[in-house]
Structure 1
Amino acid sequence: MKNPLLIKFDTLYSSAPFSKIKNAHFKPAFIEGIKIAKEEIDSITNNKNVPTFENTIEALEFSGQKLDTISRIFFNLNSAETNDEIQKIAQEVSPLLSEFSNDVTLNKDLFKRIHLIYDIKEDLNLTSEQEMLLTKKYKSFVRNGANLSEEKKIELRKIDAELSKLKLTFGENVLAETNDFELHLTTKKQLKGLPESVIEAAELTAKQKNKKGWIFTLDYPSYVPFMTYAEDRKLREKMSFAFGARAFKKNNFNNEQIVLDLVNYRYKRAVLLGYKSHAHFVLEERMAETPETVKLFLNDLLNKAKPAAKIEFNQLSEIAKLDGIQQIQKWDSAYYSEKLKKELFDLEEEKLKPYFKLENVINGVFQISNKLYNLNFEEIFTIDKYHEDVKTFKVTDTSGNYIAILYADFFPRKGKRNGAWMTSFKGQWKKDGENSRPHISIVCNFTKPTETKPSLLTFNEVTTLFHEFGHALHGMLANTTYPSLSGTNVYWDFVELPSQIFENWCYEKEALSLFAKHFETNELIPMELVLKIKKSSNFLEGIQTLRQLSFGILDMEWHGNNPTGIKNVKEFETLSFKNTQLYPDVIENCMSTSFSHIFQGGYSSGYYSYKWAEVLDADAFALFLEKGIFDKETARKFKSYILEKGGTEKPMKLYENYRGKKPDNTALLKRAGLIK
């Protein structure tokens, strides 16, 4: 039987043939994919002709495409539709991929050819994109050990193999702990304060598990509303404890040693390559450039946000005292925030939700993309999906040209990790006269429809959808020659600009009027609610900023120094949080053991980039506010200078081309209400 992963996809738009792919196909496909990729590398190094940009750099750039396709499909499923078998395969193939990656970057003959071309790049009359590709390839080899001695290359291989396994195990443990907990309630009294829609969803979860009553889980659509509305403080405490203790309990899923191993291996790797720390290694290829810049940036914002955060915290404490609570705790945070919001703005999340039916919000995202970037979205039912919940769309421009395929996966389930993300099953590139278009995917965890209600989003979930769709636009509108410079392949502290700027449209009346319609009456969201949303847009911004900064600081503490002396994860974390802490510490809880962004995802030494990109997005959106939020010329500039260009030029140059100036944090501080 032929392995569907190894033959050309004979499908519409060459989309992944999910229905034909079995778990058993993956490992053989990886082994064969690596073999093919190695043969492609050999054909470059065995080429007797003088090394040229075309026969070496371009040939290398387009090698390994079969392996890339297999990897994208497999690791996307491992995040969105995993099971024990897939996780076992991931543990088996990750070291093979790590070894192959080392085989490439430590290949002396290949590097020799790249080096020769790099040395004469000034004489080659390259385009700016070709020059960027050459520089990126050369630096990638140097930064991954090409100049090391043979002995040190062996050591690097061992470190990389360990790191690939540790990251996987970390993620598996967090997922197992998230799935393992359930709060099973059996009396109506325990549900006091919870909205009807939340109760209904919990009843459905219990039914699906063949139990009577109501079940709440640590998945965000269940956890967040419970923490926001449940009046029973003891139950909120129980939920909060469970969430904060994920992978921190004395069981088989404990991540403490894994965290220590990860930071030590990353440090060891950086030192081996001649860097002071993992953060020094990472930030060399970021807009920020150094850990010192990041620390200055975070501390500057901390000094501006902390006074506001303390005032807001005192407001929450005062409102909690009315219920006899002398010391507000973490499990009171969302509950009293909601009460305070109602008091200050007469605004309740539950009053907003009927205006944000998921289908309407998706339609709104599509209409806004059409007004800005001339895109059309048509749901299609002729390509394979990896789960029945997934929706698929063909994206075209207003002239009917095919732009991309979009997969959208919105609801939580057992084999899917928490949170929201954008990814791709196929990148974009130009070759042999053809512009090969991307297949983009957005994955979220929103409340599922119940027997009586459609999926209604909180406003926070609306902004999440817009955020991920901003990333998707970056991927879908990619228009570069080389895949490794296309779409979201940009500096990590630049990648959040397209996602975060897109959130701004959620707060604008002109945009809301396109999609914020009551799910039963179709009535447009009342103007007074729009004004309240706008007024509350920087509600508790001091506390929110402090929270984000605390994560960025923790990340830099783990990765910006020598970690070899750290023996206790919790003690180290507590020390890192000392300048940002508002709530009393919970000794049984630990953030680091479930901090997937930095220990499983790609955000190690990069968590600061959310705030960094907020500075960019506030400054960039200020131009839309000045010209009009649907101004065609501003949108054209953002599309052609930011969204289409990928990583073909330095981000600051792209930004200045769009904005006509360097960014500054004035717009962000004003928007956040931290300065007048």
Structure 2
Amino acid sequence: MTQELNPLLQDFDLPPYASIKPEHVKPAIEHILAQSREAIAKLLPQTEPTWDSLVQPLDELSVRLSRAWSPVSHLNAVCNNPALREAYEACLPLLSAYSTEIGQNKALFEAYSALANGVQSKNLDTAQKTILAHELRDFRLSGIDLPETQQKRYGEIQMKLSELTSQFANQLLDSTQAWSKHVTEPELLAGLPESATAQMAQAAQAKGLDGWLISLEFPSYYAVITYADNRQLREEIYFAYSTRASDQGPNAGKHDNGPIMQQILELRAELAQLLGFANYSELSLASKMADSTEQVLTFLRTLAQQSKPFAEQDLAALRAFAKEQGVEQLEAWDMSYYSEKLRQQRYSISQEQVREYFPIDTVLSGLFSIVQKLYGIHINELHDFESWHPDVRLFEIKEDGQTIGRFFFDLYARPNKRGGAWMDGARDRYRKADNSLVTPVANLVCNFTPAVEGKPALLTHDEVTTLFHEFGHGLHHLLTRIDYLGVSGINGVAWDAVELPSQFMENWCWEPEGLALISRHYQTGEALPQALLDKMLAAKNFHSGMMMVRQLEFSLFDFELHATHGDGRSVLEVLNTVRNEVAVNQPPSWNRFANSFAHIFAGGYAAGYYSYKWAEVLSADAFSRFEEEGVLNPETGRAFRDAILARGGSQEPMQLFVDFRGREPSTDALLRHSGLTSNV
């Protein structure tokens, strides 16, 4: 194929998603990598490098590669198919080898060192100096100081890790899609809300079946585990869901991630030791906000000690309630079901009742109103663009009449789409060599229940919170004012601070002023009734003790797993040790949660899952200023944007936080917001 016919090699504004075919992928990446290598060779050596002669041209090369690879990576996640998967995976070793080459290029390292330490550095601003510090750190973390044989081994490890993490994600997706249950007797679905059964009927029709089709896509799983009166059905779906990609369950061994996890952990441990770190957790912290493994473990264990008594109270009350309903032994597949029943009894409120007040367009309109008030921006929908699916929508953000960013929304669950919710950058903000500004573009992806039977998509309050969370990431990417690629948007932000803007946005889902903007009954247009709002707020911290220790269990497991690998314990043994320490309820012995823990085995959260709780402390404390000054106060909103959102990774996150809050963070606000203080 000629370059002229390959859309990935063209100069495009928005990615040409509909035009990209699997056969375009590898030729485009090979062509760009070859040109990049040539360009770098011409750049070096430089006796007196300047920003414009070194960093700027290298940024332009990074942008070109990202422009081609980002849409491919995105399509692989949202429209996965065998041909695209094969093309995607064929490029992983090429990209890994290139990345290692750059990280171990001695002449390039010396050029960066010369720029950072030379006369030119006096003329650089704070953001530029931060970029140089990050680059020199990353050279060392790429093995620049290692002997040649160890550098070679470093490259081999990185290449293998990129393959294994992709394989983990693929096997999880395949095992999720390998199980379904065709139901023809309506009584089996007793208790399920109409929205769930309608979606299951639609899924069955799509496969040419009558009745209903239950799958392991999250909306379907959640509906059964939370509402199905049939205990046997709940057990069946829990067994299938919690044994995905493992040696247990209905497809035992077929897509088993167990051996892959073991290889990933061994390679990460070897990588850490190669670079002079005691373990992978220590290596992970080299580019994070936290100072030491001891600091992280103390932080998590202190939160666990403060939260566990509340979690024990939650569980005791749930067991007592289930006993009243005739269930002597509360099992893992009963927890969500009886939790929802107890919530309804205590607060006369159900997620389904609330869902009717959160039609998608009302939620989006309210979300946009909130950020427009806070940050002085305007959001409009655009309609003429290349899409990867008919459900995808595109919006632009304007400020002072100028477009400063755009974002895609892909909100609904469907086959061949990765589970979960995430934001990824389709394009970063940066200023080109000719001084023209490139504005950022984001992809925002969720897996909500789609519209059925002529009704709009109706979100649970949990889904509304997820939407706000991902939009917070999007704002961090889109509202940056930094013009240098290395620290614009979320680039260069320490991983344990990157969740601050996302968790921060969740607060408006609970504030009466925010709820008034994002809720309207989908049929009547009636505002969320005060009585229902009062019940929602009363129920806000329902089981927050159990939810807190569950997140701490994930965080401690991840950190311990990477800190202690090689001590003879299996993944499951580490998990059980952590559960014995912090959990209040033990799952069945056949539960294989770790085999589907994509955050740490296929995402960027290895030895970093603690970041959610770490950043939640920052976000709760940051929001407490809004509680003091007004939750829709434009001045406070501008201050948050100026200090946090606009400045990206240009300075240390603690400095940015102190600039906004006037002091270092405290855990008090998080515990108060979660209802985990003795005086609540």
> Is the 8 Å Cα contact of residues 507 and 530 (structure 1) preserved in structure 2?
no
Mapping for residues 225-264 of structure 1, pairs under 5 Å: 225-249=223-247, 250-264=252-266
| Aligned partners of 1:9 and 1:15 also within 8 Å | no
The residue number in structure 2 matching 1:22 is 21
* Counterpart Cα distance in 2 of 1:614 and 1:7: 41
Instruction: Return the alpha-carbon distance in structure 2 between the equivalents of residues 383 and 484 of structure 1.
Output: 28
Alpha-carbon deviation of 1:132?
0.3
C-alpha RMSD over aligned residues = 1.5
Change (3 A) 1:460 1:448: same
One-letter amino acid of the structure 2 residue matched with residue 21 of structure 1? I
Q: 1:578 — aligned with what?
A: 580
Q: Which moved more, 1:368-377 or 1:301-310?
A: 368-377
Deviation, 1:123, is: 5.7
Q: CA offsets, 1:518-541, max 9 Å, x none?
A: 000000010111122222211111
What does 1:154-169 align with in structure 2 at a 5 Å threshold? 154-169=152-167
Q: TM-score, length-normalised on structure 1?
A: 0.97
1:613-624 to structure 2, matched below 5 A, reads 613-624=615-626
SS of the equivalent of 2:447 reads: coil
Determine the C-alpha separation between the residues in 2 that align with 1:225 and 1:329. Answer: 17
1:429 aligned onto 2:430: yes
Confirm or deny: 8 A CA contact 1:442 1:469 kept in the other structure.
yes
- The CA distance in 2 between the partners of 1:486 and 1:22, in whole Å, is 30
Letter in 1 for 2:610: Y
Instruction: Give the distance between the partners of 1:455 and 1:65, measured in 2 at CA.
Output: 36
The letter of the residue matching 1:80 is: V
Alpha-carbon separation, structure 1, partners of 2:650 and 2:480: 11
Deviation at 1:208, TM superposition (A): 0.9
Deviations 1:256-293 (A, max 9, x none): 01111101101100100111111111112111121111
Contact kept? 2:557, 2:574, Cα under 8 Å: no
- Deviation at residue 559 of structure 1 after TM alignment: 0.9
CA distance in 2: counterparts of 1:473 and 1:213, whole angstroms: 42
Q: How does 1:548-563 map to 2 (within 5 A)?
A: 548-563=551-566
Q: For residue 404 of structure 1, report the CA deviation from its aligned partner.
A: 0.9
Of 645, 657, 660, which aligns to 2:659? 657
Contact 1:9 1:17 in 2 (8 A): no
Q: Distance in 2 between matches of 1:584 and 1:542?
A: 15
- SS of the counterpart of 1:647? coil
Which has the higher mean CA deviation after the structures are superposed, 95-104 or 379-388?
Answer: 379-388
For residues 293 and 57 of structure 2, what CA distance do their matches in structure 1 show?
Answer: 35
Please give the secondary structure, in 2, of the residue aligned with 1:328. coil
Specify the alignment match of 1:413 in structure 2.
414
Aligned-pair distance for 1:63? 2.5
Partner of 1:267: 269
Counterparts in 2 of 1:637 and 1:325: CA distance versus 1, 3 Å: same
Give 2:306's aligned residue.
304
* Residue 326 of structure 1: aligned partner: 328
CA contact (8 A) 1:467 1:500 kept: yes
CA shift at 1:500, angstroms? 0.6
Partner of 1:544: 547
**Separation in 2, partners of 1:135, 1:674:** 40
Q: CA deviation at 1:225?
A: 1.6
Question: SS in structure 1 opposite 2:80?
Answer: coil
Superposed, 1:25-424 pairs within 5 Å as 25-47=24-46, 49-120=47-118, 124-249=122-247, 250-397=252-399, 399-424=400-425
The alpha carbon displacement at 1:379 in A equals 1.5
Letter in 2 for 1:229: Y
Distance 1:460 1:299 in 2: 27
Measured in 2, the distance between the counterparts of 1:54 and 1:113 equals: 13
Q: Give the whole-Å Cα distance in 2 for the aligned partners of 1:448 and 1:524.
A: 23
Q: Is the 8 A contact 2:508 2:514 kept in 1?
A: yes
Distance 2:464 2:603 in 1: 23
Distance 1:287 1:41, change over 3 A: same
Aligned residues of 1:248 and 1:589 also touching (Cα < 8 A): no
Q: Secondary structure at the match of 2:444?
A: strand
Q: Supply the AA of the counterpart residue of 1:76.
A: H
TM-score where L is the length of structure 2: 0.96
Kept in 1: contact 2:200–2:212 (CA 8 A): yes
The separation in 2 between residues aligned to 1:212 and 1:195, in whole angstroms, is 19
Give 3-state SS (helix, strand or coil) of 2:123's partner.
coil
AA in 1 matched with 2:44? T
Give the share of equivalent positions with the same residue, in percent.
36
Distance of 1:181 and 1:593 partners within structure 2:
16
1:206 and 1:214 in contact (8 A); partners too: yes
> Whole-Å Cα distance in 1 between the matches of residues 514 and 219 of structure 2?
25
Q: Give deviations 1:101-125, integer Å, cap 9, x for gaps.
A: 0111111111122222333479633
| CA apart distance, 1:564 | 6.2
Q: Which amino acid aligns with 1:656?
A: V
1:283 and 1:290 in contact (8 A); partners too: yes
User: Distance between the aligned counterparts of 2:81 and 2:384, measured in 1?
Assistant: 26
Deviation at residue 377 of structure 1 after TM alignment: 1.9
Alignment partner for residue 455 of structure 2, among 453, 456, 462?
A: 453
Question: Per-residue deviation at 1:580?
Answer: 2.4
- 1:466-485 equivalences under 5 Å are 466-485=468-487
Counterpart in the other structure of 1:512: 515
| CA distance in structure 2 between the partners assigned to 1:206 and 1:32 by the alignment | 44
Please show how residues 624-643 of structure 1 align to structure 2 within 5 Å: 624-643=626-645
DSSP 3-state at the match of 1:276:
coil
The letter for the 1-side match of 2:194 is: E
Relative to structure 1, is the Cα distance of residues 504 and 7 closer, same or farther in structure 2, using a 3 angstrom cutoff?
A: same
2:646 and 2:30 map into 1 onto residues whose CA distance is 34
Larger displacement relative to structure 2 (502-511 or 556-565): 556-565
Match of 2:597 among 589, 595, 598: 595
Report Cα offsets for 1:538-559 as digits up to 9, x if no partner.
Answer: 1111000000000001101111
Cα offset for 1:6? 4.5
Whether the 8 Å CA contact 1:353–1:457 is kept in 2: the answer is yes
CA apart distance, 1:587: 2.1
The code of the aligned residue for 1:554 comes to F
SS of equivalent to 1:563: coil
CA distance in 1, matches of 2:38, 2:309: 60
Q: Distance in 1 between matches of 2:527 and 2:230?
A: 35
| d(CA) in 2 for partners of 1:525, 1:64 | 48
**Corresponding residue of 2:528:** 525
**Separation in structure 1 between the aligned mates of residue 630 and residue 320 of structure 2, nearest angstrom:** 41
Which has the larger displacement, 75-84 or 50-59?
50-59
Task: Rate the CA distance shift 1:277–1:122 in 2: closer, same or farther, 3 A.
Answer: farther
